[in-house]
Structure formats: structure tokens, C-alpha cells
């Protein structure tokens, strides 16, 4: 089944919605639409009936079985056919449910294609609200246009909901504002696998969407809540990067706690942004460059106010 809508509008949108990892959202690298033609979708078996697909954009979690197919996130719209083809290698069932970990384009721009193909889309309620209207992301200032009705979540939750699907109890949990104000953790309890969305990523300093409800304090709290949900046998599918463990997540949280401590100390001392930067709060965690500077300034703003 061909999923991609090939109007010029869609392709133009794809052109402006591509940012290269690992510095996406910091330094936009605009690629031509045909560059998506070079993206390959790779499939990694995670555990039991759970798989991870990687291409361009956020990691996709896949649950297959007799009940159908549930995926977590759907990357960029021009990749929908390739994603569907990769899923078809695993199961005869097309996608029944798409769960969005949050509203960002690199996780959700495939919604319209999968929605048009008949999938139900599920998300935390604030994520649906953000998909309904134009959003401007923190840092890059990238504009994310609203999705057509067919790409919007029709099933939403506030704090938590549970699926019984393919032999798993699958919990969708909002652990408070962190990366955005509409994040979902997707915990496949039977398989002991969790997809964290961008609350946990493997590319250094995490993007925190301060313009859309995200906060460093919230992310640190959310990571503590996630660590309490899972155990040392849990396999984590992060928002971006390789499969990880609870210890990896705690190390990442510790990095944020250390940096926050230095930012709060700078704030107590009344340091100007430049003086704060001179203390190198991210030393040992990130290279001193423009991306790190921008990140620190945004994070500092959380403690010093506008």
C-alpha cells in the first residue's frame, strides 16, 4: 500500500522539516526531499514481539502479534512507505495504532499518511492540541504547521492509559512536563521494554522545548519517575540513538542534575549569562561550541527568568 501523499505542499514541508542528527534542532541542515530516498530503515529485534525501526528522525517502536500492529512514532512523511515496508517484513498486519511520544515533526510527521491508511492515532492530550495549530520550537525557531484532521490523534489521555494488545499490557504514561508538555512514556510491561520518546536521548545535551512546556527541572523529575517504573532488566528504546538500560538513563539524568546545580549556583551568585558561560557548566559533558552555548543560555533562562 502506498502511503505517501506526493503533493508539492507535502514535499516542500519535508524539505524544511529535515534536520540532521545529532545536532538537529540546533543547527538546521536543510536537505532536499530526494535525500529521503537515500534513507534506509533498519530493524532491530528488541525483545519478544517488540522491534525498533531506525531511519531518519525518532526511533520507532513496533509491537506485532495477533491483535495487529502498534507503532510508537512515525518519523517523516516521505518515509512512510519505507516504514510500512519494513513492518511488512515482520507481520502481515498493517498498522492499527500509532502512538506519538510527543508532537515534534521528526516523530509525528508520518501521522497523516498512517491515519489515511486507517491507523488510529493516540497521544497525550497536549500533543494533540499542539498538532492542531502552528507551533514554534525553542532554539531553532522552527515552525511546525498543523496537521490535517486525518493526522491528528483521535484517542488522547491525560495522565495514563493502558492497552491490552498482543499479549502485553502497554502503559502510556505522562510523567509531567519535560521535553514538552505532552510527552508519553510507552511501557510494554510484559516484554519489559519502554520507549521514552525524547525525554531520554543518546546524543549529548538533550533538546528541551522551552517554548512548548518543556523544562530542565521537569525532565529531571520525569527521568526519576521513569527510573522508578522500570528495572535493571528493562530495555529502553530512547527517542534517538541506541538501545539502552536503566543505568544509562540514570547517568544521563545525573548529567542534567550536575549541570543544573551549576546553573542554580550561578543564579544565586547573580551571574550574568556571559559570566555563567565562563564557569563552563557543561564541562565534561559537551564540547564548548555554539550549540552548547545556546543550550546553556536557554537552560539558564529557566532559573533567571525572562
- Shortest spacing between CB 213 and Zn ion, in angstroms: 12
Q: How far apart are CA 300 and CA 279, in angstroms?
A: 12
3-state helix/strand/coil string of 167-219? CEEEEEECCCCCCCCCCCEEEECCCCEEECHHHCCCCCCCCCCHHHCCCHHHH
- Shortest spacing between CB 211 and Zn ion, in angstroms: 12
- Residues 1-30 binding Zn ion (CB under 5 A) are none
> Is 190 or 204 the residue whose CB approaches Zn ion more closely?
204
- Shortest spacing between CB 111 and Zn ion, in angstroms: 14
The answer to whether the CB of 123 falls within 8 A of the CB of 86 is no
- Shortest spacing between CB 288 and Zn ion, in angstroms: 24
Residue 188: phi and psi, rounded to 5, are -85, 95
**Residues pairing with 42 in the sheet:** 54
- Shortest spacing between CB 58 and Zn ion, in angstroms: 7
The answer to whether the CB of 98 falls within 8 A of the CB of 74 is yes
What angle (nearest 5°) sits at the alpha carbon of residue 106, between those of residues 22 and 163? Answer: 120
Q: Check the CA dihedral 280-203-261-296 and report its sign.
A: positive
- Residues 87-116 binding Zn ion (CB under 5 A) are 104
The answer to whether the CB of 6 falls within 8 A of the CB of 274 is no
Count of residues in contact with Zn ion, rule CB under 5 A: 2
- Shortest spacing between CB 59 and Zn ion, in angstroms: 11
For the window 174-213, what string marks contact with Zn ion as x by the rule CB under 5 A? ------------------------x---------------
> Is 78 or 178 the residue whose CB approaches Zn ion more closely?
178
Structure-block grid coordinates of residue 220 = 529531571
> Is 115 or 206 the residue whose CB approaches Zn ion more closely?
206
> Is 191 or 298 the residue whose CB approaches Zn ion more closely?
298
- Shortest spacing between CB 17 and Zn ion, in angstroms: 13
- Residues 224-283 binding Zn ion (CB under 5 A) are none
> Is 104 or 130 the residue whose CB approaches Zn ion more closely?
104
> Is 104 or 253 the residue whose CB approaches Zn ion more closely?
104
> Is 49 or 135 the residue whose CB approaches Zn ion more closely?
135
Distances (CA, A) of 227 to 31, 176, 232: 37, 14, 9
Biggest alpha carbon distance in the chain? Answer: 61
- Residues 34-73 binding Zn ion (CB under 5 A) are none
The residues binding Zn ion (CB under 5 A) are 104, 198
Amino acid at each position: 500500500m502506498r502511503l505517501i501523499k506526493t503533493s508539492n505542499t507535502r514535499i516542500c514541508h519535508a524539505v524544511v522539516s529535515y534536520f540532521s542528527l545529532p545536532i538537529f534542532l540546533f543547527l538546521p541542515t536543510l536537505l532536499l526531499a530526494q535525500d529521503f530516498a537515500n534513507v534506509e530503515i533498519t530493524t532491530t529485534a528488541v525483545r519478544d514481539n517488540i522491534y525498533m525501526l531506525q531511519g531518519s528522525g525518532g526511533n520507532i517502536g513496533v509491537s506485532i502479534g495477533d491483535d495487529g500492529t502498534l507503532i510508537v512514532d512515525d518519523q517523516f512523511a516521505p518515509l512512510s512507505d519505507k516504514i510500512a515496508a519494513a513492518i511488512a517484513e515482520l507481520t502481515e498486519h498493517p498498522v492499527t495504532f500509532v502512538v506519538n511520544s510527543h508532537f515534534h515533526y521528526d516523530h509525528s510527521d508520518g501521522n497523516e499518511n498512517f491515519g489515511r491508511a486507517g491507523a488510529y492515532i493516540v497521544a497525550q492530550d497536549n500533543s494533540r492540541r499542539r498538532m492542531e495549530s502552528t507551533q514554534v520550537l525553542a532554539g531553532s525557531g522552527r515552525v511546525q504547521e498543523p496537521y490535517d484532521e486525518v493526522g491528528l490523534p483521535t484517542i488522547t489521555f491525560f495522565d495514563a492509559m493502558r492497552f491490552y494488545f498482543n499479549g502485553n499490557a502497554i502503559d502510556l504514561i505522562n510523567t509531567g512536563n519535560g521535553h514538552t508538555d505532552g510527552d508519553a512514556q510507552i511501557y510494554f510491561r510484559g516484554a519489559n521494554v519502554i520507549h521514552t520518546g525524547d525525554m531520554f536521548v543518546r546524543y549529548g545535551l538533550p533538546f528541551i522545548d522551552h517554548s512548548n512546556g518543556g523544562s530542565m527541572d521537569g525532565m529531571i523529575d520525569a527521568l526519576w519517575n521513569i527510573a522508578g517504573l522500570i528495572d535493571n532488566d528493562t530495555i529502553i528504546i530512547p527517542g534517538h540513538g541506541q538501545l539502552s538500560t536503566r543505568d544509562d538513563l540514570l547517568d544521563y539524568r545525573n548529567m542534567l542534575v550536575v549541570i543544573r546545580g551549576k546553573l542554580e549556583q550561578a543564579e544565586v551568585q547573580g551571574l550574568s549569562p556571559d559570566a555563567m558561560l565562563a564557569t563552563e557548566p557543561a564541562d565534561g559533558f559537551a564540547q564548548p561550541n555554539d550549540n552548547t552555548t545556546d543550550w546553556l543560555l536557554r537552560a539558564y533562562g529557566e532559573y533567571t527568568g525572562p
